[in-house]
Structure 1
Amino acid sequence: MDFYAFGPIAAVLDTAYTLITALVDFLDPVAGALAAGLAIALVTVGVRGALVPFGAALVRSEYTRRRIAPRLAALQLKYKKKPELLTQKTMELYREEKASPLAGIAPALLQAPVLSIVYGLFILTEINGHENALLGADLLGARLGDSLFAALGAGAGPSVIVVYLAVLAVISATSWFTRMTGLAFAASAPRFEGAPDVPPAMVRTMGAMSWLPFITVVFAAVVPLAAALYLAVSTAWTLAERTILRRVLAPR
């Protein structure tokens, strides 16, 4: 089943499309060739700004896991041969701390439908039965409905390819800083007496997973430029938001 063809979703998507095309028309006299790209950036920032409370919940859950980590480790050592009792004691600990083992997952799941609808604006050629004119617009000569590979295949000129490469460069830089800040945050976690050493295999796995943000770069090269621009703004916002919230919400 097509998620975007579901009646209520299609209606919401169509409303969002009407708003963003109106924004493009509003910006056009001032921004000219940048109007469509600027509208995409502004809509992305507006949506991500509205979702900041979910980001804050995610950061709080990170610090909660850090706070209870020593007690969880103690329980795992004490009841490692009694898995049922370990599960019971673990849940009791979470209830005592007024926390949930799913606290880090729920905010992401709640954001997903909203972000999926916004993303649909930038990848669908048709919305609720009519053409998505946004993908026919240009950004400095580059068609928003074409991917980098499509532009290369069509023989686009150097000035057009530079637009795609600039967007990919922003995503690449953001992915690098996301990786580095993630590693730094993990390394700053306090160690506690009696904590078991992390198995080498897990260390290697965590190291490999730290490169996952770069998948966005590959993905951005094959989706329409409108979607790539959305990914550039969204990932940059996420990096800045997470960095600021980790400082603001850090335990004193």
Structure 2
Amino acid sequence: MHVFARLGALLAHFADALAPLFGASATAAAIVLLTLGVRLALHPLSRSAMRGGQARAALAPQAQKLRQRHKNDPERLMRATGELYAEAGVSPLSGILPLLVQLPVFFLMYRLFSREPGGEGHALLGAPLGGRWADALHHGGLLGPHGLVYIGLFALVAAVATWTCVHARKTTAAASLSTRGDARGDARGDARDDAADPAAAMAAKAAKVAPLLSFGTLVTVAVVPLAAALYVVTSTTWSALERAYLQRTCTRDGGALPAE
């Protein structure tokens, strides 16, 4: 509770400093800039997570062999896989660290403004930061002043999610082409085993579905307070741009990088 109070005070001071420029939307501007600051501070973690994804992709053939060798012994498979990652200095959980660090800031936005449904003095183009999409629909309807704010957010999220989905599929297709030649060099018996491996099949299906999860942000924006929605939209947009940048730089510096 003490941490949330301090973060809330910091946000309030930041909004006061921005008030001469943004007026009644100063708190909304503070949320966006605070989000960008948090994501910029987490950029080293994101880069490390991207490198970890690249390393895990390189270890995928060895992990697949371990699954085949120990498919009847889950405990031994888990131990062998852990040893494989440990020897390579790779953490299977590295990809979720940036997300975990962001959670306190998201909860701050949710807690601060979920108790302020009126949102006096805290708004984005007139829409209260403590309100939700359902509240906007009751104040002017879908195309009312408040509703148009949400339409703008939904449009941005949909555009980012579509771009992320298309980009991820292109990256996955490129990665598949680059590894297909190596797969042809395997023995036919091993190829049949790989095709029959349920874990591999599940992973392939998950890779196809994962990009579509970006559209789930639309639901989040609709149900949380506008302040939290602003954080989510800003962070999601940053993630898409950051991932594209890291894929380009990491691929140039050290090989192909998979879409996760």
Pick the TM interval, shorter chain: 0.7 to 0.9
Residue matched to 1:28: 19
Residue matched to 2:258: none
In the alignment, the residues of structure 1 paired with residue 231 and residue 103 of structure 2 have an alpha-carbon distance, to the nearest angstrom, of 16
Distance apart, 1:55 and its partner CA: 1.0
- When normalised by structure 1's length, the TM-score is 0.80
Distance apart, 1:82 and its partner CA: 5.6
Residue matched to 2:223: 222
Unmatched segments (≥5 aa) in structure 1: 1-9, 127-131
Residue matched to 2:114: 124
| 1:154 lines up with 2:149 in the alignment | no
Identity rate, percent? 35
In the alignment, the residues of structure 2 paired with residue 103 and residue 246 of structure 1 have an alpha-carbon distance, to the nearest angstrom, of 16
Unmatched segments (≥5 aa) in structure 2: 256-260
> Residues 122 and 235 from structure 1, CA distance in 2 versus in 1: closer, same or farther, beyond 3 angstroms?
farther
In the alignment, the residues of structure 2 paired with residue 145 and residue 84 of structure 1 have an alpha-carbon distance, to the nearest angstrom, of 48
Q: What amino acid maps onto 2:26 in structure 1?
A: A
Q: Is the contact between residue 17 and residue 121 of structure 1 (CA under 8 Å) also seen in structure 2?
A: no
Residue matched to 2:122: 137
> Residues 62 and 140 from structure 1, CA distance in 2 versus in 1: closer, same or farther, beyond 3 angstroms?
same
In the alignment, the residues of structure 1 paired with residue 16 and residue 122 of structure 2 have an alpha-carbon distance, to the nearest angstrom, of 11
| 1:166 lines up with 2:159 in the alignment | no
Residue matched to 1:38: 29
CA RMSD of superposed structures (Å): 2.9
- When normalised by structure 2's length, the TM-score is 0.78
More helix by share: 2
> Deviations along 1:149-200, whole A, 9 cap, x unmatched?
1111233572332112111111111121222222233323242323534879
Q: Is the contact between residue 122 and residue 224 of structure 1 (CA under 8 Å) also seen in structure 2?
A: no
> Deviations along 1:97-145, whole A, 9 cap, x unmatched?
1223333344543x1543444433554317xxxxx99675122121221
In the alignment, the residues of structure 2 paired with residue 160 and residue 50 of structure 1 have an alpha-carbon distance, to the nearest angstrom, of 32
Q: What amino acid maps onto 1:114 in structure 2?
A: P
